[in-house]
Structure 1
Amino acid sequence: MACSRTCSRILGLSLGTTALFAAVANTLLLFPNWDVTYLLRGLIGRHAMLGSGLWGGGLMVLTAATLISLMGWRYGCFSKIGPCRRMLTALLSSGLALLGALICFITSGVALKDGPFCMFDVSPFNQTQAWKHGYPFKDLHNRNYLYDHSLWNSVCLEPSKAVVWHVCFFSTLLCISLLQILLVVIHFINSFLGLFCSLCEK
């Protein structure tokens, strides 16, 4: 049981740390090239504005991490909680963290598939020189911008290095959410073993 509680403390701290990193990564997506004007002008992509790293991989996971840590330290109302209630709380916290991490994972995956929101030249499509904001890489069905780095600086005109910013931080969110899912699975296994050991002791 002591081993299970120690594991809960470590998992709670780890999940809380990943939640903070997810929130920071999503916040930086709102300020491409450290410029606030794009946010003020409403020129931020829908995936970043959705904020799944803030409320999904961030707040939801942080709330679950707090519950897990409180159980590990047996703090407050968790000081004399029974094994069945502990397991129920573990299931609820795991479910909350898993949901938040999955939302962040799916949003980040879709964002990487669609590409960044930026200003690009639409003249190849309508034969007249014009620029607009949108998702230029969604129309490039025969070329994948993630592997073709020659497109990174030639398609998006503004903001500069929009593709690098987009790929960097959404890839970070994708990796963080994967790590969160792994930690949640470990927490569930740890909680189950803790319940089993507690019942065996009795």
Structure 2
Amino acid sequence: MLSSPCVMTCSRTCSCILGLGLGTAALFAAGINIVLLFPNWDRTYLLRGLIGKHAMLGSGLWGGGLMVLTSATLISMMGWRHCCFSENTPCQSMLTAMLSSGLALLGALICFITSGTALRDGPFCMFYVSSFNQTRAWKYGYPFKDLNSRNYLYDHLLWNSICLDPPKAVVWHVSFFSILLCISLLQLLMVVIHFINSFLSLFCSFCEKY
């Protein structure tokens, strides 16, 4: 059976690894959200205000990015026992772990929900609409949402036939929001592991004390 000091060392090592993993994932989430602001690497869409609301919300920047990165920094510091965490009691450490987990959980969850909603609604792009006198005009909006094309993700024939501008808007939208969704899901998984690791660390601290 492993001794409590050995378990504590493993717990701290796990915190360091999780902190590094969460921090890396947060940087990737922020980077992906920035890419979504420049469809086809063209900044004119952002300057003209032709970016979808899901990308402009920036949940990958401040949610899955900044909030998770802040939490990752706290988790890493707890693992290395730097600064004010070096003299913390087990209960104080557990409280810090819960706060950092809660912050990361909230940020990752916001990013996950936003990404899922973006994939459901489809991209913001230019598409043709028919008026009452049978003339055709174009406008910017969410054609897959407005036209009730709920299965656009599975019908690739719609991708290039409906969205006219930006070019390959659906591919850009689906690809990067799918990546953002996966990143936020990975962050949620690491937060759960961190919480379990912190609970085991607290339990072993009490075992070592008594």
Compute the TM-score of the two structures, normalised by the length of structure 2. Answer: 0.94
Please list the CA deviations of residues 146-199 of structure 1 after superposition, one character each: whole Å capped at 9, or x if unmatched: 000000101000000000000011001110010000000000000000000011
**Residues 1:102 and 1:128: Cα distance change in structure 2 (over 3 Å):** same
Residue in 2 that maps onto 1:179: 186
SS for the counterpart of 1:158 is coil
SS for the counterpart of 1:130 is strand
Residue 123 of structure 1 deviates from its aligned partner by 2.4
Residue in 2 that maps onto 1:14: 21
Residue in 2 that maps onto 1:114: 121
Residue 80 of structure 1 deviates from its aligned partner by 1.3
State which of 148, 151, 162 in structure 1 corresponds to 2:158: 151
C-alpha RMSD of matched pairs (Å)? 1.2
Q: How many residues align?
A: 202
1:198 and 2:193 matched: no
Residue in 2 that maps onto 1:28: 35
Residue in 1 that maps onto 2:3: none
Residue in 1 that maps onto 2:93: 86
Residue in 1 that maps onto 2:44: 37
Q: Give the distance between the partners of 2:36 and 2:160, measured in 1 at CA.
A: 18
**Residues 1:126 and 1:176: Cα distance change in structure 2 (over 3 Å):** farther
Q: Which stretches in structure 2 are left out of the alignment for 5+ residues? A: 1-7
Paired residue type of 1:158? D
State which of 32, 51, 56 in structure 1 corresponds to 2:58: 51
SS for the counterpart of 1:10 is helix
Paired residue type of 1:77? C
Residue 142 of structure 1 deviates from its aligned partner by 5.3
Paired residue type of 2:19? G
**Residues 1:193 and 1:148: Cα distance change in structure 2 (over 3 Å):** same
Q: Give the distance between the partners of 2:157 and 2:133, measured in 1 at CA.
A: 23
**Residues 1:27 and 1:142: Cα distance change in structure 2 (over 3 Å):** closer
Q: Which moved more, 1:122-131 or 1:35-44?
A: 122-131
**Residues 1:190 and 1:126: Cα distance change in structure 2 (over 3 Å):** farther
Paired residue type of 1:94? S
Residue in 1 that maps onto 2:67: 60
Say whether the 8 Å CA contact 2:131–2:137 is kept in structure 1.
Answer: no
